[in-house]
């Protein structure tokens, strides 16, 4: 008896003391588990007078919205009912130690085959704001995308006045033809793929396109209120300007990170980026409706879709006002004014306004020292035409794109599995060049030799390496703005400029105080951008241009971040239902 009495007193003591500690601190708000089911199925959709069968989630276009709070766990079961292989990426989610749920096909998982399913399992930690999810294989994200909204923890306010209402505004790109056929054909012929037929807001092209007046996104607002627009660019290949006629927008967040608020008439948003803006509605009934429009920002030489998507901002009639007899048709319609299609000075100016909040509550943890430096050239190039034929790329070659002149060859098995199980042989090598093998005048007169090399080369980073990466655009086949997206991390954009990066002069101007923190950044056309991140998330992390055509051409690579020493610094084991190749 006595012998068994002692341990239980000790246990009781331990219980009491932990109970007391528990009472001394504010009650931690624990996240909940949220379940979603994504049935990938074909769905007939009509746009621009064309009926088309699209790959969809649950028959919806755009797909369903995922809403969670910071700290929540998400369990999303994806069931594939279509002939295509599929995988879904939760764009911008940090996936701490849960890389198996990241989604890029052949990087963190084999795709989900027809008739198979996979449960994406991850916990949202240290993030709140607007992100999105999309298919991450071939060009299926053309129709398979939707908002991913992370609310702050219960009871935690926004760092701005609580909006009256929140609305997702998600841009897409519509193709009358099958996007899979378009990219497959382009990769066969070596030429540029056909461009889209329309841009869409929440899946709707709007009145500036044929047959589309009935397919217009309408935002009905009340007088004198503040609306939070969660703007997402899910378009395949185009950066977009966005503006609402006669209204000013206040930018408060980018890529699910709060920013120092600033006012602007127009925002610029690249594929892969998200921007939260506040819209203050007019205090008095304006007798008018307003266009909200988006059209591309284009710097490259390829043909592009130069059309404009329009939605309509409509004011609700004030109750029992004398306006009640006015019909919508009698109201004047104001058009929004957007920058010129190639307005790079707008792009530069807009980028310079984006600053981290850098407050006590939301600090900007910019790495102050750098362990490892990288310099990557980003740009287009060519590959030889196969089978001695003439291809439709430049001078009979095939279009390619590369990082440090390596055009990334996709493996046929998943990189993360190969890494985790120590089976990299024949799958990938770890000799990705840290700098261009042959330096040249990157933004000067392009060299005659435009050929890229091919390989599945990765960079290995020890856990907690502090990385500085300069991404330098090249003028090979034309300078162009490239929105580069890094999986598994946010990074800080510490500097950017035009021409060639100067390692002696440019770092002196880096902003290490309040640089914007994000997951996708535009490498300026004919310029460079410098980013820093702390490699504190073990796994294999894809990095690529979020212009899908450039990804298809090989503008992609991956980082391996090794496990740390502590148990909570290691990649979790793969889930049992991880798809097989
Ligand atoms: Cu939104 Cu790897 O992409």
The pLDDT tens digits of the residues spanning 377-418 come to 999 999 999 877 899 999 999 999 999 999 999 999 999 999
Q: Is 141 in the pocket of ligand 1 (CB under 6 A)?
A: no
Q: Is 556 in the pocket of ligand 1 (CB under 6 A)?
A: no
> What distance in angstroms lies between residue 156's CA and the mean position of ligand 1's atoms?
29
What's the CA gap between 72 and 337, in Å, rounded? 41
Q: Output the residue whose Cα is nearest ligand 1's atom 3.
A: 91
**Res 7 pLDDT > 50:** no
> What distance in angstroms lies between residue 125's CA and the mean position of ligand 1's atoms?
19
The pLDDT tens digits of the residues spanning 522-545 come to 999 999 999 999 999 999 999 999
- Give me the pLDDT at residue 445, please: 93
Judged by DSSP in three states, 421 sits in coil
Question: Both tokens of residue 497?
Answer: 């400029």
**Res 2 pLDDT > 80:** no
DSSP 8-state secondary structure symbol assigned to residue 533? E
Neighbouring CB atoms inside 10 A of 449's CB total: 11
The pLDDT tens digits of the residues spanning 292-347 come to 999 999 999 999 999 999 999 999 988 766 555 566 667 899 999 999 999 999 99
**Res 26 pLDDT > 60:** no
Which contacts (CB < 8 Å, 24+ apart) does range 155-164 have?
A: 155/29, 156/70, 158/252, 158/258, 159/252, 159/258, 159/357, 159/359, 159/361, 159/362, 160/250, 160/252, 160/261, 160/278, 161/226, 163/225, 163/226, 163/227, 163/228, 163/278, 164/222, 164/225, 164/226, 164/227
> What distance in angstroms lies between residue 358's CA and the mean position of ligand 1's atoms?
26
**Res 18 pLDDT > 60:** no
Residues forming beta bridges with residue 522, ordered by sequence position = 483
What's the CA gap between 148 and 441, in Å, rounded? 41
CA nearest 407: which of 443, 457, 479, 441?
457
SS3 content of the chain, % helix, strand, coil (to 5): 15, 40, 45
The pLDDT tens digits of the residues spanning 202-215 come to 999 999 999 999 99
What's the CA gap between 571 and 574, in Å, rounded? 9
> What distance in angstroms lies between residue 236's CA and the mean position of ligand 1's atoms?
11
> What distance in angstroms lies between residue 239's CA and the mean position of ligand 1's atoms?
15
- Give me the pLDDT at residue 331, please: 85
**Do residues 419 and 540 make contact, with C-beta atoms less than 8 angstroms apart?**
yes
**Res 114 pLDDT > 70:** yes
- Give me the pLDDT at residue 320, please: 65
**Do residues 122 and 95 make contact, with C-beta atoms less than 8 angstroms apart?**
yes
> What distance in angstroms lies between residue 492's CA and the mean position of ligand 1's atoms?
18
pLDDT band for position 29 (cuts 50, 70, 90) = low
Which helix (H) or strand (E) is 134 found in, with range?
Answer: strand 129-135
> What distance in angstroms lies between residue 230's CA and the mean position of ligand 1's atoms?
18
pLDDT band for position 348 (cuts 50, 70, 90) = very high
Q: Is 134 in the pocket of ligand 1 (CB under 6 A)?
A: yes
φ/ψ of 539, rounded to 5, equals 150, -165
Q: Is 295 in the pocket of ligand 1 (CB under 6 A)?
A: no
Q: Is 136 in the pocket of ligand 1 (CB under 6 A)?
A: yes
Q: Is 69 in the pocket of ligand 1 (CB under 6 A)?
A: no
Task: Return all residues near 573 (Cβ < 8 A) that are at least 6 apart.
Answer: 420
What's the CA gap between 410 and 397, in Å, rounded? 20
> What distance in angstroms lies between residue 546's CA and the mean position of ligand 1's atoms?
6
Which atom, in ligand 1's list, is nearest to the CA of 551? 2
CA nearest 84: which of 35, 142, 132, 131?
142
DSSP 8-state secondary structure symbol assigned to residue 547? S
The pLDDT tens digits of the residues spanning 440-463 come to 999 999 888 999 999 999 999 999
The pLDDT tens digits of the residues spanning 79-104 come to 999 999 999 999 999 999 999 999 99
Q: Is 128 in the pocket of ligand 1 (CB under 6 A)?
A: no
Which atom, in ligand 1's list, is nearest to the CA of 271? 1
Judged by DSSP in three states, 49 sits in coil
Mean pLDDT (the chain, rounded) = 94
CA nearest 218: which of 207, 232, 226?
207
Calculate the CA 273 to chain-centre distance.
Answer: 5
Residues forming beta bridges with residue 266, ordered by sequence position = 243
**Do residues 383 and 400 make contact, with C-beta atoms less than 8 angstroms apart?**
yes
pLDDT band for position 30 (cuts 50, 70, 90) = confident
Q: Is 488 in the pocket of ligand 1 (CB under 6 A)?
A: no
What's the CA gap between 361 and 341, in Å, rounded? 38
The pLDDT tens digits of the residues spanning 257-285 come to 999 999 999 999 999 999 999 999 999 99
- Give me the pLDDT at residue 6, please: 41
> What distance in angstroms lies between residue 486's CA and the mean position of ligand 1's atoms?
8
Which atom, in ligand 1's list, is nearest to the CA of 92? 1
Determine the Cα angle at 140 with ends 474 and 573, to 5°.
Answer: 90
What's the CA gap between 133 and 31, in Å, rounded? 21
What's the CA gap between 287 and 289, in Å, rounded? 7
> What distance in angstroms lies between residue 146's CA and the mean position of ligand 1's atoms?
13
DSSP string, 245-312: TT--EEEEEETTEEEEEEEESEEEE-TT-EEEEEEEPPSS--SEEEEEEEEEE--SSS------EEEE
- Give me the pLDDT at residue 322, please: 57
pLDDT band for position 21 (cuts 50, 70, 90) = very low
Q: Is 272 in the pocket of ligand 1 (CB under 6 A)?
A: yes
Q: Is 91 in the pocket of ligand 1 (CB under 6 A)?
A: yes
> What distance in angstroms lies between residue 137's CA and the mean position of ligand 1's atoms?
10
DSSP string, 275-289: EEEEEEPPSS--SEE
What's the CA gap between 329 and 228, in Å, rounded? 27
As a residue count, the chain comes to 581
Q: Is 550 in the pocket of ligand 1 (CB under 6 A)?
A: no
Calculate the CA 126 to chain-centre distance.
Answer: 18
Which atom, in ligand 1's list, is nearest to the CA of 141? 1
> What distance in angstroms lies between residue 172's CA and the mean position of ligand 1's atoms?
14
Integer angstrom CA distances of residue 197 from 174, 177, 309, 419: 6, 9, 11, 41
Question: Both tokens of residue 424?
Answer: 């990299």
- Give me the pLDDT at residue 284, please: 95
**Res 61 pLDDT > 90:** yes
pLDDT band for position 507 (cuts 50, 70, 90) = very high
Judged by DSSP in three states, 36 sits in strand
Determine the Cα angle at 432 with ends 102 and 467, to 5°.
Answer: 65
The pLDDT tens digits of the residues spanning 352-372 come to 999 999 999 999 999 999 999
What's the CA gap between 459 and 440, in Å, rounded? 22
> What distance in angstroms lies between residue 37's CA and the mean position of ligand 1's atoms?
21
Q: What is the largest CA-CA distance in the chain?
A: 92
Q: What is the 3-state secondary structure (H, E, C) of 461-520?
A: ECCCEEEEEEEEECCCCCCCCEEEEECCCCEEEEEEEECCCCCCCHHHHCCCCCECEECE
Which atom, in ligand 1's list, is nearest to the CA of 91? 1
**Res 373 pLDDT > 90:** yes
Which atom, in ligand 1's list, is nearest to the CA of 487? 2
Judged by DSSP in three states, 325 sits in helix
What's the CA gap between 194 and 192, in Å, rounded? 7
Q: Is 542 in the pocket of ligand 1 (CB under 6 A)?
A: yes
């Amino acid at each position: 008896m006595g012998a068994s009495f002692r341990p239980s007193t000790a246990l009781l003591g331990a219980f009491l003391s932990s109970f007391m500690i528990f009472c001394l601190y504010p009650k931690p708000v624990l996240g909940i588990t949220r379940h979603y089911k994504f049935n990938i199925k074909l769905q007939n959709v009509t746009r621009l007078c064309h009926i088309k069968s699209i790959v969809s989630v649950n028959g919806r276009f755009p797909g369903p919205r995922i809403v969670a709070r910071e700290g929540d766990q998400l369990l999303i079961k994806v069931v594939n009912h279509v002939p295509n292989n599929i995988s879904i990426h939760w764009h911008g989610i940090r996936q701490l130690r849960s890389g198996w749920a990241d989604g890029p096909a052949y990087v963190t998982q084999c795709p989900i085959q027809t008739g198979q399913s996979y449960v994406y399992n991850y916990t949202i930690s240290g993030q709140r704001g607007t992100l999105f999810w999309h298919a991450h294989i071939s060009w299926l994200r053309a129709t398979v995308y939707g908002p991913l909204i992370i609310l702050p923890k219960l009871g935690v306010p926004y760092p701005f006045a609580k909006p009256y209402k929140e609305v997702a505004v998600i841009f897409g790109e519509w193709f009358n033809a099958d996007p899979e056929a378009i990219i497959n054909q382009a990769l066969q012929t070596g030429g540029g793929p056909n461009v889209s037929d329309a841009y869409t807001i929440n899946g709707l092209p709007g009145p500036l396109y044929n047959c589309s007046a009935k397919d217009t996104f309408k935002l009905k607002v009340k007088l004198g209120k503040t609306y939070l627009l969660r703007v997402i660019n899910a378009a395949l290949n185009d950066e977009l300007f966005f503006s609402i006629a006669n209204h000013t927008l206040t930018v408060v967040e980018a890529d699910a990170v709060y920013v120092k608020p600033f006012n602007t008439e127009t925002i610029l948003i690249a594929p892969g980026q998200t921007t939260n803006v506040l819209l203050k509605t007019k205090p008095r009934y304006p007798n008018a409706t307003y266009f909200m429009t988006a059209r591309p920002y284009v710097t490259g030489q390829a043909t592009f879709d130069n059309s404009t998507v329009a939605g309509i901002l409509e004011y609700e009639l004030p109750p029992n006002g004398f306006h009640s007899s006015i019909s919508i048709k009698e109201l004047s319609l104001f058009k929004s004014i957007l920058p010129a299609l190639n307005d790079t000075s707008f792009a530069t100016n807009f980028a310079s306004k984006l600053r981290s909040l850098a407050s006590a509550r939301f600090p900007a943890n910019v790495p102050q020292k750098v362990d490892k430096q990288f310099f990557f050239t980003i740009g287009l190039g060519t590959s030889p035409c196969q089978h001695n034929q003439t291809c439709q790329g430049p001078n009979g070659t095939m279009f390619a794109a590369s990082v440090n002149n390596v055009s990334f060859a996709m493996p046929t098995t998943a990189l993360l599995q190969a890494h985790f199980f120590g089976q990299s042989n024949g799958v990938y090598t770890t000799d990705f060049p840290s700098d261009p093998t042959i330096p040249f005048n990157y933004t000067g007169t392009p060299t005659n030799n435009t050929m890229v090399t091919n390989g599945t080369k990765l960079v290995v980073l020890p856990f907690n390496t502090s990385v500085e990466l300069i991404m330098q655009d090249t003028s090979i086949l034309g300078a162009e703005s490239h929105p580069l997206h890094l999986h598994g991390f946010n990074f800080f954009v510490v500097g950017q400029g035009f021409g060639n990066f100067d390692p002696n002069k440019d770092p002196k101007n880096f902003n290490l105080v309040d640089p914007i923190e994000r997951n996708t950044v535009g490498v300026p056309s004919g310029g460079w951008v410098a980013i820093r991140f702390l490699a504190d998330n073990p796994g294999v992390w894809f990095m690529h241009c979020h212009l899908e055509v450039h990804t298809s051409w090989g503008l992609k690579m991956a980082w391996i971040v090794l496990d740390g020493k502590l148990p909570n610094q290691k990649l979790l084991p793969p889930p049992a239902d991880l798809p097989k190749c």
